[in-house]
Amino acid sequence: MRQAIHILRKDVRYLWIETTVALIAAGLLAFTGVRQAYALTRPEITHGIATAAMLLPFLLPIAWWTLIVRAVYAETLTGDRQFWPTRPYAWRSLLAAKWLLILLFVNMPLFLAQTAIVLSAGFPLSPQLAGLLWTQVLLTVAFDLPVAAVAALTTGVVQFLLCVLIVFASSMALSMGSMRITMAFAGGGWRGMEWIETYYSLLLIAIVGAAILIWQYRTRRTVPARVLAGLALLILALGAPFSWSTAFAIQSHFSRLHVDEASLHAGLFTNFQWATRAIVNRDGSVSLHIPLELSGVPGDLEPRTEGLTVRIEGAGGAIWDKNEAPWAEVSTNGRLIALQTTVDGAFYQKVKDQPVSLRGYLYLTLYGNQRVTRVPFDDHTQPVPGLGLCSASGGGNAPYFLSCNSTFRPPSELVSVAFGEGPNEGTPYSRPQVHSYSPLPAELSLNPVNPFVQWSTSKKVLDAATVVSVEPLAHVRAAIAIDGLRLGEHEVRIK
Amino acid sequence: MTSPIHTRGLVKRYRGTVALDSFDLDVPEGSIYGLVGPNGAGKTTCIKVLMNLARATSGRGEVLGADTRRLGPAQFAQIGYVSENQKLPDWMTVEYFMNYLRPFYPTWDETLAADLIRQFDLPRSRELRHLSHGMRMKAAMASALAYRPKLIVLDEPFTGLDPLVRDELIEGLLPSAENTTVFISSHDLGEIESFASHIGFLDHGRLQFSEDMGSLAGRFREIEVTLPVDKAAPKPDQCPPAWLNAQQSASVFRFVDSRFEEERTAAQLRGLFGEAAQVAVNPMPLRAIFVTLAKASRKAA
* B72·A14 Cβ contact <8 A: no
* B86·A14 Cβ contact <8 A: no
Q: What phi and psi values does residue B121 have, to the nearest 5 degrees?
A: 55, 45
ipTM of the complex: 0.86
This prediction's pTM: 0.86
Question: Which residue type sits at A343?
Answer: V
Question: Which residue type sits at A403?
Answer: S
CB distance B180 to B151 below 8 Å: yes
Helix axes B94-101, B110-119, angle to 10 degrees: 150
| Contact residues on chain B for A5, CB-CB shorter than 8 A | none
Q: Would the CA dihedral through B161, B165, B168, B172 be positive or negative?
A: negative
Report the distance separating Cα B68 and Cα B54, nearest Å: 10
| Contact residues on chain B for A10, CB-CB shorter than 8 A | 100
Q: Which residue of B has its CA nearest to A88?
A: B73
Query: Would you list which residues of chain A are within 8 Å, Cβ to Cβ, of chain B?
Result: 2-3, 6, 10, 14, 74, 76, 80-83, 85-90, 221
* A83·B140 Cβ contact <8 A: yes
What is the residue-level pLDDT of chain B in tens, covering all 301 positions?
A: 578 999 999 999 988 788 898 889 999 999 999 998 888 888 999 999 999 999 999 999 999 999 999 999 999 999 999 998 899 999 999 999 999 999 999 999 999 999 999 989 899 999 999 999 889 999 999 999 999 999 999 998 888 788 888 888 888 888 877 789 999 998 777 778 888 899 998 888 888 888 888 888 888 899 988 887 777 777 777 788 888 888 888 788 888 998 888 888 888 888 887 776 788 899 888 888 888 877 777 776 6
Rounded to a whole number, what is the distance in Å from the CA of A170 to chain B's nearest CA? 26
Question: C-alpha dihedral over A420, A422, A427, A432, to 10 degrees?
Answer: -70
Could you report the per-residue pLDDT of A76-98, keeping only the tens digit for each? Answer: 999 889 999 999 999 999 999 99
| DSSP 8-state code for residue B127 | B
Report the distance separating Cα A124 and Cα A117, nearest Å: 11
Question: Helices in chain B by DSSP H: which ranges?
Answer: 43-50, 73-76, 94-101, 110-119, 133-145, 163-176, 189-195, 213-219, 262-273, 286-300
